[in-house]
Amino acid sequence: MATAYGSSRNTRPHRVYRPMANFRTNTASPFRHVDLVLVGCVFAVSLFGAVMVYSTTRGATAPYDSGYLKRVLFFVVLGGALMGATALFDYRKLRDFWPFVYGASVFLLVLVLVPGIGSRTKGTQGWFQLPGFQLQPSEMAKLGMIIGFAGLASQFRGDLDNFRVVMLLGICGAPMFFVMLQPDLGTTLVSVAVAFALLLVVGVRPRILGGLALAAVLGTTIVLTSGLLKEYQVARLTTYVRQDETAVTAIDKESRFNLDQSKIAIGAGGMWGRGLFEGSQTRGNIVPEQRTDFIFSAVGEQLGFVGSGVLLALMGTIVWRVWRAAQLARDEFGTLLCTGIMVMLVVQIFENVGMTMGIMPITGIPLPFVSYGGSALLTMFLSMGLVLSVHMRRFS
């Protein structure tokens, strides 16, 4: 009996845990729903940007300097790691912790305004000077505002009274206020566009949105005429509407020169461009801020209409995949996160490309994934990680 009983136990089937087998059979597993198209396009545009930054920092006669390229590649690798870590993180946990994320982003905006802590560059006090790196908290604050808005709005579950609308406006208004104190009108304008889109998605009444739009126009006018901005900042913002007028002051002439040289560079590229690392405007370092604000002018000159079209097509694909993730999101929180990130992308792309061609005001808004700047690049990678997290968990 003992032998028979032992034989019976040895032949009893038992379950073996096989992670890969579970991965294949569990259709709700987040790892089965990674958006490889989005990931591929993000890295493609980032590497494209690294090449363009290198092309604008080589110089015409000076020895080739790869320092900028190495820093960009470092941030791409670091950003890719942050994107992967954020994608593995369940975005739904942010619904409980959003006050801490939002509060930290606003705290940094306040801290950077303190003399001796924040550093001032070109009239704007908006950076923390760290060893080998300048941290720009206004870039992170845009994402913090989106997370804060989505977290608060998702708690209302579509039930919006006037008091709750005011709370949502406060979530958006606080970071805008402190960014304007730097002052940084470009980042504020992006935040305004994101706020309008989020308010529209959550169902705020049209007459309230109309009143907010009017207030935004009046507020912008007041800022431009109140002396809060430096004279050269106002000139940069208004140059695009005075392109046919004769520049009078030295500041107007400088702003007009920047725009004119950018348009010359893009026009000189023609259909196919002057060739990678070629072009008089790029190699002569004639266009100012070419590795940051005006990097699209280098794309136009070197790679022409075709190369610029390829870059914009890749960026359009990223926007499409973020919009798709917003539509497929399982909850309102995920939809609002992706919608805010999508609008942030669209506004920055349109504004940056438009200002290099004279159809939008000249601001310090970087071209996502392309312009040189560690804070902006890391923020975009973190944003894409959140989008991936939403997309991966639409069945769980």
pLDDT tens digits, one per residue of 42-64: 999 999 999 999 998 875 445 56
pLDDT at position 8: 45
pLDDT at position 9: 46
Q: 124 — alpha (psi -120 to 50), left (phi > 0) or beta?
A: beta
Q: How far apart are CA 282 and CA 296, in angstroms?
A: 11
pLDDT at position 247: 63
pLDDT at position 4: 46
Question: Could you tell me the two tokens for 81?
Answer: 């790691």
| Residues 66-87 pLDDT 10s | 788 999 999 999 999 999 999 9
Task: Answer yes or no: are the C-beta atoms of 257 and 286 closer than 8 Å.
Answer: no
pLDDT at position 196: 94
Angle, helix 332-356 to helix 250-269, in steps of 10 degrees: 100
Question: Could you tell me the two tokens for 125?
Answer: 């006090």
Q: How far apart are CA 105 and CA 137, in angstroms?
A: 7
| Residue in the block written with tokens 């003399």 | 115
Q: How far apart are CA 107 and CA 97, in angstroms?
A: 16
**pLDDT tens across the length of the chain (396 residues):** 444 444 444 454 554 445 455 555 677 788 888 999 999 999 999 999 999 999 988 754 455 667 889 999 999 999 999 999 999 999 999 988 999 999 999 999 999 999 889 888 877 888 998 887 889 999 999 999 999 999 999 998 778 888 999 999 999 999 999 998 998 888 998 999 999 999 999 988 888 889 888 988 888 788 777 766 677 677 777 777 776 666 656 666 777 788 888 999 999 999 999 999 888 888 878 888 889 999 999 999 999 999 999 999 999 999 999 999 999 999 999 999 999 999 999 999 999 999 999 888 888 899 999 999 999 999 999 999 999 999 999 887
Q: Tell me how crowded residue 185 is: count the other CB atoms within 10 A of its CB.
A: 24
| Residue in the block written with tokens 């970071």 | 175
Task: Answer yes or no: are the C-beta atoms of 140 and 108 closer than 8 Å.
Answer: yes
pLDDT at position 3: 46
Q: How far apart are CA 343 and CA 350, in angstroms?
A: 10
Query: What is the amino acid identity at position 317?
Result: T
Q: What is the 3-state secondary structure (H, E, C) of the chain?
A: CHHHHHHHHHCCCCCCCCHHHHHHHCCCCHHHHCCHHHHHHHHHHHHHHHHHHHHHCCCCCCCCCCHHHHHHHHHHHHHHHHHHHHHHCCHHHHHHHHHHHHHHHHHHHHHCCCECCEEEECCEEEEEEECCEEECHHHHHHHHHHHHHHHHHHHHCCCCCHHHHHHHHHHHHHHHHHHHCCCCHHHHHHHHHHHHHHHHHHCCCHHHHHHHHHHHHHHHHHHHHCCCCCHHHHHHHHHHHCCCCCCCCHHHHHHHHHHHHHHHHHHHHCCCCCCCCCCHHHHCCCCCCCCCCCHHHHHHHHHHHHHHHHHHHHHHHHHHHHHHHHHHCCCHHHHHHHHHHHHHHHHHHHHHHHHHCCCCCCCCCCCCCCCCCHHHHHHHHHHHHHHHHHHHCCCC
Q: How far apart are CA 42 and CA 53, in angstroms?
A: 16
pLDDT at position 18: 53
pLDDT at position 372: 93
